[in-house]
Structure 1
Amino acid sequence: METLYESAIACAVAYGTVVMLYVLFEIPAYHKRLKQSYSYHERIDLRWLYIILLSFVAFLAVWSLSSTYYSELNDTLYYLLTCVIWSLISYFINRQEQVLGSLTTRSHQDVETAPENEENPHQFTLHLHRIFEEEHLYLNPKLTIMDLAQAIGTNRTYISNYLNNVLGTTFFDYVNQYRLSYAEQLLRQTKMSIEEIADRSGFNSRSTFRRAFLKRFGCTPSHYRLQHLPKEIEKEISLTQ
C-alpha cells in the first residue's frame, strides 16, 4: 500500500513537471504571436504565469514532503501555499484582457495574399509611413494590427507578412519605433514630465516606456533629456522642481 502511495506521488510530480515544461515552452510562442498583432503587452502577456509556476514548484515540494513526513508544520505550509496560489491565479486572471480569440481566429476575408489593388512593396512602405505620419496611429496606446488594416484598407495577415518578410520587424516593434521617435522629440523640445511624455507617446506606463527607451537609445529618458535639452528649457525645469 505504501509503495502504491509513493508511486502515486511520483506520478503526480512527474505530471506536474510535464505541464510546467509545456507552459514554459508555450509562453514565449504566445508572446511572439502578441507582437504580431498588438502594440502593447500590459494586461495581455503571460509573464505572470512564471510566478504561478514557481509557486507550484514550492507547492509540489511541500505536498511531497507532507505526504511522506507528516507534521503540523507541513500541513500548515501546504494549505497556506494552496491559498496563495489560488489567490494569485484569481488576481491575474481577473486583470487579464481576453485576446486569444483574435490571435487564433481569422475571417474569410483575412487571406494570406495581398488584395489585387495593393501597391508594390516600395509603394506600400510609403503608404504605411504616410498613414502613421499623417494620422499618428501610434499614439493610440491600444493600437492593434486590425486597427491598422482598417485604416489602410487591407487585411491583417498581409500587413503582418509584409512587416515580417519585407521590413524584418513585428507590428509591436514597428509601432513602438514611432512612439520612441515622438517621445525623443518631446524630451528635446518640451518641459513635460517623463510620465506625461510616456502617456502622450502612446505608452501605457512609465516603466514600459523606460525599458523601450533604454533598449533603443542606451540610456534612460531622464539621462537623455539632460544630454540634449536646450539650456533655457533645462533651467525652467530646474526652477519648477
Structure 2
Amino acid sequence: MFYFILKNLYFFILPIFFLLVGIRHICFKRSPVSLFLGIYLLSFFVRNVSAYFLAEPEISFAPHFYVYQSLIHYLIGPSAYLYTYFALKPYKKLTFWYALHFFPFVFYTIELFPFLISSLEYKRQVLDDFLKVKELITYNKTVGFVPRIYHTIAKFISILVYTFLSIQLYIKSYFNSAKSSLYYNNKQLYRWLFFDNLLKFLSLILITLQGFGIFNPFHGFAFQPLDAFVFSDALYNFIFIVFAPKIQSGLLFKNFQDDLLNQTSNKDESINVKQKPRDALMEKINIYMETEVPFIEDSFSIKTMSQSLNVTERQVSTIIKKTYDSNFANFVAKWRLNYIKNMHSSSPEWANFTIEQMAERAGFGSRQTLHKVINRMYNQTPSDFFKEYLK
C-alpha cells in the first residue's frame, strides 16, 4: 500500500501539480523568472509521467515515450539557468535572443519527428537495442541522423555548462550584494538559489558517475534512486514558489542612497541623491548599479551602462538629469562616495585604508581624481571631506 501511494505520488500526483503551476506561471505570470520556472516544472512533468510509461508492460503500448525522456533534458539546463539569471538580474529585459538557449531542444525535436511517426514495430526494435545498454557513454546508435552518443555527450555538456554558469552567477551576485544592503534585503532569495544550485551540482556529479557506469549503473528505464534525487530539485523549487512566491520578483531593491536617508548631517544630505518619483528606467538603473556594482571600475562609462540595459546613452543621461538634476559623472561619483562610506563602516579592512586606497577601490582610480571630484562638487579636499563624512 505504501509503495502504491509513493509510486503514484512520484509519477502522477506531484507531476500534475507541476503541470498546473507551470502552466499558470507561463500563461498568467509576467516576470521572466516565472516564465522559466514554469518551463522547468513542465519539463519535470513530462519527465516523470513518461518515466511511468517506460516500464513493462506500458512501454510496449507507448514506445514513443522513450524519446520524450531524452528530449526534455535539453529544456532543464537552460530553463534552470535563465530563472537564476533573471532572479539575480531583474533589470534585464527578456528578448528574443534568450530563445536561442532552446535551439538544441528544437533541433532534437525536428530530428526525432521521423521516429515518432514510424511504425510501432520499428520503435520496439529500437527500444530492444537500447535496453541492452549498460553504459550510456558507449551507445552509438541513433533514432535520427545524429548518433545517440553525441546527444548524450551534448546533453551532459549542456547540463554541466548551465550548472556552472548558474553557480558562477550566484557567487558573483552574492559577493556583490555583500558590498551593500542587498543581501540583507534578499536573504530568502539567496538561500533558495544556494540550495537549488547545490542540488543541481550534486545531481551533476551523480549523473556523471552513472554515465560512466561508476555509480548506480544504467539499467534501461528501471526506476533508480538517482531519478528521485534529480527530481528532488524540482520538488524543492515547487515548494518554494508555492509558499514563497515573492522570490519570483527577483532581487528586491534598496539602494545606497535609500540606506543613507536617515543620516541627519548636512554633509550626508548634500551627498545623497535627492529622492524623487522614479520611472521604470530609473529603477532599472539603480538596480543595475547596486546588483552589479559596475562603478568600482574606473573605466565605467555611460556607454557601459546603456549597453548593459539595452537603452541609448541619451535615455540614460536624460532620465538621470530629470530625476536627480545631475549629470552622469556626478551621479556615478555619488554612488562611489556612498560605496566608500558603506564599506568603511562595514569592513574592518576598509577602516584602515588610506584615502588613496579607498579612491582606487571605489573606482575613482587615484587620489588626484577623487580630489578633483570632491573639490568640484563640494569645494573641499578629500581629507577634510572624509573627516566629516566618515565620522
What range is the shorter-chain TM-score in? Answer: 0.3 to 0.5
Tell which structure's C-alpha radius of gyration is larger. Answer: 2
Larger RCO, structure (CA 8 Å, separation 6 or more) = 1
- The TM-score, its normalising length taken from structure 1, stands at 0.40
- The TM-score, its normalising length taken from structure 2, stands at 0.26
